[in-house]
């Protein structure tokens, strides 16, 4: 039997090793979400249908909206269907949206962000990362080292975190470092090692893309793209990840408000990619006994403002190993859909962020406690 090459083993089989612009174009085509492209004058209206509205009536409403050159995004809740309408304000305002049979109410979205607004969907979004769903009842634990350092390192840590209950493997191949002299990540080799670890453990992988020039490469390996805090307002990167068919985790910038985070996410959805996770990872404050100040206020605020799932990264949020578990538990108590925790099997040898990484045994202990908190707040793990 022929042994598969490293490349066939490690690349995402559905995308293959895609080349040039074709990669992004094919990702765009396979994305089932509409490309909405709000213009500055665009208004979004929310049509809420009645519980007894028929499928025929819904189809009729959607057909008419589209025949006017407006966009319609249908979201099904348990009781009723919500239709988001997008287009130029003057055009939408003149349409008798409330006159269709089956419509209960029509409300304009007045917020600066529209597609990410909770009312735009009328329900919380579930985002799939590989075969894992984020945003449903289960609290999803993502874990792994800050950086991918070697094949042995990532695979060993992946096995440990998987055994402890993590569902998604994290690890940076492209690292945003304050100093140009610090370890910058293994790049493509790091992606290949991550994919090996996925092969061994079955866990989907999330990894950072720092630059549009690397997007095609990262897309060929990752199951979820991470846009880091330092790139939260890199609008060309946001637009490009919005054109892929991969889920994106957008981390809050260290000086960004919650509204800034939502506006950045709006860029991604506006390109047609609705599979976005928002991550609170700590902000800069005057406090200097911790690396950052984990703003857990953001969790309930985001859950009320947006339909997108909320992830909390307590590791960067507090930046001190011994305090990470307390903040992870607090994040789940506050309503986070997922937590991302850095774990390293030899933190004193880590090439980045060793001081904040949990040891595998401590991580295992944490997951058990996270499970208890999840159950206490009506979730599961
Ligand atoms: C990371 O997750 O390792 C990272 C660099 O995060 P942030 O962008 O939040 O600093
Ligand atoms: Mn890190």
Average pLDDT of each block of 10 consecutive residues along the chain (381 residues)? 34 34 37 51 86 96 94 88 89 90 91 91 94 98 98 98 98 97 97 98 98 98 98 98 98 98 97 97 98 98 98 98 98 98 97 97 98 98 95
Pocket-testing residue among 145, 172, 229, ligand 1, by greatest number of atoms within 8 A of Cβ: 229
Residue nearest to atom 6 of ligand 1 (CA): 228
**Ligand 1 mean position, distance from CA 229 (Å):** 6
Length of the chain as a residue count:
381
Pocket-testing residue among 146, 147, 170, 232, ligand 1, by greatest number of atoms within 8 A of Cβ: 146
CB 138 within 8 A of CB 379: yes
First to last CA, the chain: 41
Pairing of strands 205-208, 224-227: parallel
**Ligand 1 mean position, distance from CA 136 (Å):** 24
* Nearest ligand 1 atom, CA 316: 9
Q: Using CA atoms, how far apart are residues 2 and 286, in angstroms rounded to an integer?
A: 60
**Ligand 1 mean position, distance from CA 163 (Å):** 24
pLDDT score, position 41: 61
**Ligand 2 mean position, distance from CA 351 (Å):** 10
**Ligand 2 mean position, distance from CA 309 (Å):** 21
Ligand of minimum distance to the alpha carbon of 254: 1
Residue corresponding to tokens 């992946």: 158
Q: Using CA atoms, how far apart are residues 185 and 150, in angstroms rounded to an integer?
A: 10
Q: Using CA atoms, how far apart are residues 171 and 341, in angstroms rounded to an integer?
A: 11
Residue nearest to atom 9 of ligand 1 (CA): 229
Nearest Cα neighbor of 250 from 272, 271, 275 is 275
Residue nearest to atom 8 of ligand 1 (CA): 228
* Nearest ligand 1 atom, CA 279: 9
pLDDT score, position 111: 85
pLDDT score, position 12: 37
How big is the CA angle at 116 (ends 341 and 283), to the nearest 5 degrees? 40
Ligand of minimum distance to the alpha carbon of 230: 1
* Nearest ligand 1 atom, CA 340: 2
Ligand of minimum distance to the alpha carbon of 208: 1
Which residues sit with Cβ closer than 5 angstroms to ligand 2, an ion? 146, 353
Where does ligand 1 bind, in terms of residues with CB under 6 Å? Answer: 146, 172, 176, 228-230, 251, 281, 316
**Ligand 2 mean position, distance from CA 186 (Å):** 14
* Nearest ligand 1 atom, CA 353: 3
Task: Output the six-digit token pair for 353.
Answer: 């962020």
Q: Using CA atoms, how far apart are residues 255 and 95, in angstroms rounded to an integer?
A: 41
């Amino acid at each position: 039997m022929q042994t598969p090459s490293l490349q066939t083993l490690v690349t995402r089989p559905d995308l293959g090793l895609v080349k040039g612009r074709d990669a992004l174009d094919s990702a765009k085509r396979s994305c089932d979400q509409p490309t909405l492209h709000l213009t500055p004058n665009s208004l979004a209206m929310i049509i809420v249908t009645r519980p007894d509205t028929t499928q025929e009536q819904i189809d009729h409403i959607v057909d008419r909206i589209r025949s006017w050159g407006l966009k319609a995004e249908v979201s099904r809740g348990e009781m009723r269907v919500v239709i988001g309408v997008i287009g130029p304000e003057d055009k939408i305002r003149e349409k008798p949206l409330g006159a269709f049979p089956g419509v209960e109410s029509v409300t304009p979205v007045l917020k600066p962000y529209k597609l990410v607004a909770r009312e735009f969907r009328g329900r919380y979004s579930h985002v799939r990362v590989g075969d894992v769903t984020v945003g449903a009842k289960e609290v999803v634990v993502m874990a792994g080292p800050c950086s991918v350092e070697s094949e042995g390192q990532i695979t060993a840590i992946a096995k440990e975190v998987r055994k402890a209950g993590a569902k998604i493997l994290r690890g940076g191949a492209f690292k945003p470092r304050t100093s140009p002299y610090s370890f910058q990540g293994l790049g493509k080799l790091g992606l290949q090692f991550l994919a090996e670890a996925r092969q061994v453990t079955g866990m989907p992988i999330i990894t950072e893309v720092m630059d549009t020039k690397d997007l095609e490469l990262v897309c060929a390996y990752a199951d979820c793209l991470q846009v880091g805090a330092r790139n939260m307002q890199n609008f060309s990167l946001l637009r490009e990840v919005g054109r892929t068919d991969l889920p994106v985790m957008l981390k809050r910038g260290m000086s960004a408000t919650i509204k800034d985070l939502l506006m950045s996410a709006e860029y991604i959805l506006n390109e047609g990619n609705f599979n976005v996770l928002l991550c609170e990872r700590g902000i800069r404050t005057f406090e200097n006994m911790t690396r950052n100040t984990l703003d857990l206020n953001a969790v309930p605020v985001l859950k009320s403002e947006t339909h997108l799932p909320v992830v909390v990264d307590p590791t960067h949020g507090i930046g001190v190993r011994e305090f990470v578990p307390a903040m992870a538990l607090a994040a789940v108590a506050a309503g986070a859909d997922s937590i991302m925790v850095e774990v390293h099997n030899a933190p004193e040898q880590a090439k980045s962020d060793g001081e904040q990484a949990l040891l595998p045994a401590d991580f295992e202990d944490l997951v058990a406690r996270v499970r208890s908190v999840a159950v206490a707040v009506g979730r599961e793990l």
